[in-house]
Amino acid sequence: MALLLPFFIMLKVLSYVRGYPTGAPTGACEDMMPRHSGVQPQPFPVPYAILTNTRTFQPGQPITVTVRGPDYRGVLLEARTFGSTNALGSWMLPPPDTKFLQCSGNPQAAVTHSNTNLKGNSTVYSWMPPDAESPIYFMATVAQQRTVYWIGVRSSTLTRGQHTRVIRLNTGGSAGMAEGKPLLVLVTCFLMFQVVG
């Protein structure tokens, strides 16, 4: 039995040092620290950027979020508002090799890795904003590997926008869209009156 004791101690140490290959723990929701024992975050500059498909948000209109930079293995991604560490909104169907993480009582408040497979610029996350007035931003912890990670990776700030009206123009056999382009609508109407009149 005494011969097995060092084996069990080594096994316990290895399991403790491994990190979280199947996703961030719920305890990381607020400070976004990955809890990789004995490992500190990398200093700035960060080789990653959090990009969105828009600068504004509207309740009920999904936002596309990507993590740009070198391939990565681990991620914790949340939406936040200034002055709060609570995750906001809900993430939609997580991309491959990721899963939801319950934060702030919301089962879809964050997205984290589900394994250590590589994720990259083609990994697209979709987020549904809440009915909120405050500006929001996306915050991430990104890990290239267990011992190389960055915390506090932030997107640009998104403000609540006005609902954009979409005007559909039927031009014979095809339909086009003029979104927030009043000059295009005005020119099209003018040309139609010229042809008809």
Q: What is the DSSP letter of 65?
A: E
**Nearest of 74, 78, 87, 95 to residue 22 by alpha carbon:** 74
Q: What is the mean pLDDT of the chain?
A: 80
Residue 170's beta-bridge partner residues?
Answer: 175
Tens-place pLDDT, residues 108-143 = 999 999 999 999 999 999 999 999 999 999 999 999
Tokens coding 194: 């010229």
Give the whole-number percent of the chain exceeding pLDDT 90: 61
In the predicted structure, residue 157 carries a pLDDT above the cut 90: yes
Superfamily of chain region 19-160: Reeler domain (2.60.40.4060)
Average pLDDT value for residue range 101-108: 94
* Distance, CA of 167 to CA of 165 (rounded, Å): 6
Domain layout of the chain by residue ranges: 19-160, 166-196
- Residue 65: its pLDDT value, please? 98
